[in-house]
Amino acid sequence: MNISAQNLDFKELNQQIRSANEAVRIDDCYGQRFIGSGMSGKNLTINGTPGNALGAYFDGGTIEVNGNAQDATGDTMNDGKIIIHGNAGDALGYAMRGGCIFVKGDTGYRTGIHMKEYKEKKPVIVIGGKAGSFLGEYLAGGLIVVLGIGSQEIPVWYFTGTGMHGGKIFIRTDKELTSLPAQVIAEVAGEKDLQEIAQYVDEFAKYFGMDAQKLLKDRYYVLKPNARNPYKQLYTSN
């Protein structure tokens, strides 16, 4: 089913998507919000720029964006895949608890904030470029991978992993990581660590026409929560 979103508001657009019994291609998308929100079992291809909360509460299926995405993509996403062939805005994967998000380019602030996992549910975000400040803030579970493709500097900004108490963050860089918060321990990733992300890097490479083996040969840091009083610096004393 093909839909032109050019003259549709977000409510009418989502009504048409929900009524479809087949894969949906959306053309002329100009910032309509909540596309795919709360849906499951649907495959959407979006040509243009979807608005905030793309795939919020998404519960299975695939959303592929041939363009950029705005803020809060995958908010509280539970399952499925979101594939973005451009950049993504702030709060990507906020409170995400399952499924995978792949971004070819960069992401904004607070990517992966409050991500969590439970039993077989393990959320994953793979970022091809750079991530803004507060990456993985209060991370409670899941994996975040920042590949830093094309970046000459450390591909994450300030306060990475602030309040982190679960999950892992992988950062591909030949630079030395500095100024990490006390809640984080950073180590150079070993072979066993890289095995944990290999399937996701491979999937990323297939979506965006890259060489996974070449990406995996480079140096990565793995960030894990510091179990010794992780919140020591987050509270003021009386």
Q: Domain extents for the chain?
A: 2-234
Residue with token string 């009386």: 238
Alpha-carbon torsion (197, 104, 68, 156), positive or negative: positive
Each residue's pLDDT expressed in tens, for the chain with a length of 238 residues = 999 999 999 999 999 999 998 999 999 999 999 999 999 999 999 999 999 999 999 999 999 999 999 999 999 999 999 999 999 999 999 999 999 999 999 999 999 999 999 889 999 999 999 999 999 999 999 999 999 999 999 999 999 999 999 999 999 999 999 888 888 999 999 999 999 999 999 999 999 999 999 999 999 999 999 877 555 555 444 4
Q: 55: closest CA among 29, 68, 67, 40? A: 40
Dist CA 132 CA 106 (whole Å): 8
pLDDT value for 121: 94
In CATH terms, the fold of domain 2-234 is Pectate Lyase C-like (2.160.20)
pLDDT value for 227: 75
Q: 3-state SS of the chain: helix, strand, coil percent to 5?
A: 15, 30, 55
Which residues, including other chains, have CB under 8 Å from residue 221's CB and lie 6 or more apart? 170, 171, 173, 177, 186, 187, 188, 189
Residue 25's DSSP bridge partners are 2, 45
pLDDT value for 226: 87
How does DSSP classify residue 233?
A: G
User: What letter represents residue 144's amino acid?
Assistant: I
Q: Write 49-52 long-range contacts (CB < 8 A, 24+).
A: 51/10, 52/89
Q: 18: closest CA among 45, 43, 39, 3? A: 39
CA neighbours closer than 13 Å in the CB half-sphere of residue 191: 0
Residue with token string 């549709």: 8
pLDDT value for 45: 98
Dist CA 130 CA 148 (whole Å): 5
